[in-house]
A and B are shown apart, each in its own frame.
Chain A
Amino acid sequence: MLATHGDSAKIIAGGQSLVPMMAMRLVRPAWLVDINEISTLKFVKIEENAARIGACTRQSAVERDDALAARVPLLRQALAWVGHAQTRNRGTVGGSLAHADPSAELPLAAQLLGAKMMLRSAKGTRALAAEKFFSGPMSTSARPDECLEEIHWPVWSEKRTGSAFTEIAIRHGDFAMVAAAAQVALDGDGRCTRAAFGLGGAGGTPLAFPKIAARLVGAKLDDGAIQSAASDAAKECDPGADLHATKEYRRHLARVLVARALTEACENAKRQ
């Protein structure tokens, strides 16, 4: 279907973003390809280095999965901010990623963890890293004939790993004005051995800051180190302005929220 109809066809999974956009006539696909009844696209498989999630797995199923929450805790933390119970019962993990809203929660989690998108077309499959996958606001590098089939979420093997997700939105469940997430691993002395963090709603795609995060490695993540990373990230991002928030306010939120996410991630790591 996708190969035949190209851009005039659109895959529908949970429809929690696509159907509102169709209702508002923002998109008018001539063809909808419904993947909801493809049971092989709904699974969670935990392997040593990655958790594999089928693209059409409901967000609520991922949220409830305790084994998954133990290996990729950021997913449950991110999902707590995604829409409402009714939308998570229908909304899918792959759908949210393929929709690629720059202020959405799952794309941010995928970007900072470096999740891998497995894309499939009639011609074959290929893997695309999150940073290559998200190409702009609501757009991805998936070709019109490709379907996101599954997502590989890296599992950090470090024992003392902690993560956190936080955001500011007008109402809980709305898209974030700015969202921040972080994951850190600590050694026995509380020194950081690995760090990743990112921002949503602060640019055209979700943002990760691998260079700034790399500077945290080897340090004790005290307030000074965290505040300096947060303000570097806030300087580097280029948020837009809209009715709800100015560019300056978003940049302010970016700094405050990155600091909060890193602090909470450290606290969670220390508890492990």
Chain B
Amino acid sequence: MSETLHKVTVEVNGKRREAQVPARLSLVDWLRDELRLTGTHVGCEHGICGACSVMLDDEPVRSCLMYTVQANGHRVTTVEGLANHDRSMSVLQDAFCETHGLQCGYCTPGMLIAAQGLLNANPNPTEEEIRDAIGGNLCRCTGYQQIVEAVELAAKRMREAK
């Protein structure tokens, strides 16, 4: 296997990032180890747990199942990119705090990305739709109920703010 490096240009959280990467470097490893965006977590590393979810062109995907070279020319949003420009927390992040939507916090970045992806596409989701949207994210503290409540609360506040 060659160790050839490939040039990539990726817009990460609104910033243009350029890098030379090996073809088999996973996107999550690049984000965490090179860009030091350690908010995105590595869980199972084979696409089961959802902890590594990021937005690729505004849609949630698993960053452990993508190579960095495949993000070339695309936009990536990590959990760090969800906060407001003044670095205060987003409506969804606030709602997670308020409803105690996290315990150990390991699954939280993935949950936030999955939930934000749902709210972007569907501002008024039913409980079933919320459960479906986070269905690919495992929380081993099993705090699912409060996570669902957080998404419901965020959806309500985002609708009211409009």
* Partner-B contacts on A (CB < 8 A): 15-16, 19-20, 23-24, 30, 32, 34, 36-37, 60, 83-87, 89-90, 172-173
Contact = CB atoms under 8 A, between A and B. Distances in A.
A175 B133 CA distance: 18
Interface in B57-108: 59-62, 64-67, 69-70, 73
Of listed B1, B47, B60, B114, residue having the most chain A CB within 10 A: B47
A60 B47 contact: no
B68 to A, nearest CB: 12
A20 B66 CA distance: 10
A20 B65 contact: yes
Given A32-B23, A87-B136, A20 B47 contact: yes
A24 B48 CA distance: 13
13 contacts: A15-B67, A16-B65, A19-B47, A19-B66, A23-B47, A24-B46, A34-B70, A84-B136, A85-B114, A85-B133, A85-B135, A86-B50, A86-B53
A90 B45 contact: no
Contacts, number: 67
B65 A19 contact: yes
A86 B70 contact: no
A86 B46 contact: no
Interface residues of B, number: 28
Given A15-B66, A19-B65, A60-B59, A84 B135 contact: yes
Interface in B29-60: 45-48, 50, 53, 56, 59-60
Contacts of A60: 59
| Interface of B (DSSP majority class) | mixed
Given A20-B46, A84-B50, A85-B136, A36 B59 contact: no
Contact of A90 (B62, B114, B135, B137): B62
A86 B23 contact: no
A30 B24 CA distance: 11
B47 A173 contact: no
B70 A36 contact: yes
B56 A90 contact: yes
Contacts of B136: 83-87, 173
B42 to A, nearest CB: 11
B22 interface: no
B154 interface: no
Contacts of B1: 30
A36 B74 CA distance: 12
Contacts of B73: 37
Interface string B119-161: 0000000000000110111000000000000000000000000
Of listed A36, A85, A90, residue having the most chain B CB within 10 A: A85
A15 B65 CA distance: 6
A244 B114 CA distance: 29
A162 B71 CA distance: 40
A90 B137 CA distance: 16
